[in-house]
Amino acid sequence: MLFSDIPGLDEIKEKLITAVRTNHLAHALLVHGPEGSANLKVALALATYLFCKNRGEQDACGTCDSCQKMSKLVHPDLSFTFPVPGRLKEDDKDEEGKNGDILASWRRFVLDTGYGNLQDWVAHNAFTKQLNISKNAAKNIIQTVSLKSFEGGYKIIFVWCPELMHVTAANALLKVLEEPPAQTLFLLVAHQPDQLLNTILSRTQKVLVRSFNDDEIREHLLHGGFCGQEAAVQIAPLADGSMREAFRLVDQVADENTARFRDWMRVCYNLDINAIVSQVDAFAEQDKETQKVLFLTGLNTLRESLLNKSQLDHLMRTAPSDRKFIEDFGKNVLTEEKIVALYQLLTDSHYYLERNANVKILFADVSFNAARILRKKG
């Protein structure tokens, strides 16, 4: 993992590299950010840079033995700790190990889903028990810290989701966190640092990894070949700063989503009952994520319409090909009152859809309520 593999975030990369080059890197870093941010990747890129034998001004070389090991997450001086199911009953011994070596599974998870969250980790292994970082895991960390570095350089203790650390495990680590051996670095990677004990927080230096902006998501999707221009433009604002969400939407958002929303609003405005019933049937046949994307596209369209009506076009994020529909929709049909009402309707509907409402009833209800709002005089 290299810094160059991470889109944008130049200010965070520069801060960390400067700290390394000026020998001002703290011995314990809490790398935190919202779900879908690059906090995991940033921490791994920092570890790669520290291990690299031919560091450049802006990144690790990517070719030395240490970088090659880091590309597979098998560097001997990098120790991973992450949440796993608690101690199993004697008759459940096979549960935790059914996917084989848990460390190998972890490496695959990180390499395949670098922006994944705890739910993705659970799904990756089909865990059925509650996860935590146990006191035994903390003892293993302390034992690892007491050993010498295999390659004579940094020794890095990497803890993912430390907020799931059992209180006894956290307390066991306090002393070693405060006074680790020389050239030992703790990298704690968290999404919810406020759930950590204050005694842990006080012993770490915080590194906030912000969410991605729309440009960073769009450019990453395009340059990585994950989707085309139109899809990238649509996905970027819908992802709301989360690269995890962006990748999820890549498989769901087609270039015609705004057109689908446009056609849906037209039949609602015309109160074409047969067309509405046909759309209800078509909507029910789609998978749940595609259904949610239609509502998200509608919310984005309404936001853009409100910006257009407020003459704030410079804040609009819609593709030029969709701009005419938004302008006409806002000019000829929508008032600010209608935009607010539709926005609330779609927000509520998205909420109910996530909670497994009956799809046909929900979409029919949304359609007729949208028709009522759109056809309202004034």
Please write down the long-range contacts of 282-288, taking CB distance under 8 Å and 24 or more positions apart. 283/359, 283/360, 283/363, 284/359, 284/360, 284/363, 288/353
The answer as to whether 136 is a domain residue is yes
Q: Are residues 36 and 168 in the same domain?
A: yes
Q: Are residues 87 and 192 in the same domain?
A: yes
Please write down the long-range contacts of 342-351, taking CB distance under 8 Å and 24 or more positions apart. 342/298, 342/302, 342/370, 342/373, 342/374, 343/299, 343/302, 343/303, 345/369, 345/370, 345/373, 346/295, 346/298, 346/299, 346/302, 347/299, 349/295, 350/292, 350/295, 350/296, 350/299
The answer as to whether 331 is a domain residue is yes
Q: Are residues 357 and 264 in the same domain?
A: yes
Q: Are residues 100 and 191 in the same domain?
A: yes
The answer as to whether 243 is a domain residue is no
Q: Are residues 271 and 353 in the same domain?
A: yes
Q: Are residues 81 and 206 in the same domain?
A: yes
Looking up residue 46, the CATH number of its domain turns out to be 3.40.50.300
Domain of residue 179 covers 3-211
Where is the domain boundary, 211, 230, 247?
A: 211
Where is the domain boundary, 211, 227, 247?
A: 211
The answer as to whether 310 is a domain residue is yes
Instruction: Name the nearest CA neighbour of 176 among 210, 142, 216.
Output: 142
Q: Are residues 151 and 17 in the same domain?
A: yes
The answer as to whether 241 is a domain residue is no
Which residues does the chain have with pLDDT short of 70? 87-100, 225, 251-256, 313-322, 378
Q: Are residues 169 and 311 in the same domain?
A: no
Looking at residue 48, its pLDDT comes to 95
Please write down the long-range contacts of 262-265, taking CB distance under 8 Å and 24 or more positions apart. 262/325, 262/329, 264/294, 264/298, 264/367, 265/298, 265/329, 265/333, 265/370, 265/374
Q: Are 176 and 28 in contact (CB under 8 A)?
A: no
The answer as to whether 223 is a domain residue is no
Where is the domain boundary, 141, 176, 211?
A: 211
The answer as to whether 166 is a domain residue is yes
Q: Are residues 193 and 285 in the same domain?
A: no
Q: Are residues 54 and 166 in the same domain?
A: yes
Q: Are residues 203 and 79 in the same domain?
A: yes
For residue 259, the one-letter residue type is: A
Looking up residue 369, the CATH number of its domain turns out to be 1.20.272
Q: Which residues contact 333 (CB under 8 A, 6 or more apart)?
A: 265, 269, 374
Tell me the C-alpha distance between 128 and 113, whole Å: 20
DSSP H or E segment with residue 157: strand 155-160
- The number of folded domains in the chain is 2
The answer as to whether 247 is a domain residue is no
Q: Are residues 145 and 269 in the same domain?
A: no
Looking at residue 42, its pLDDT comes to 95
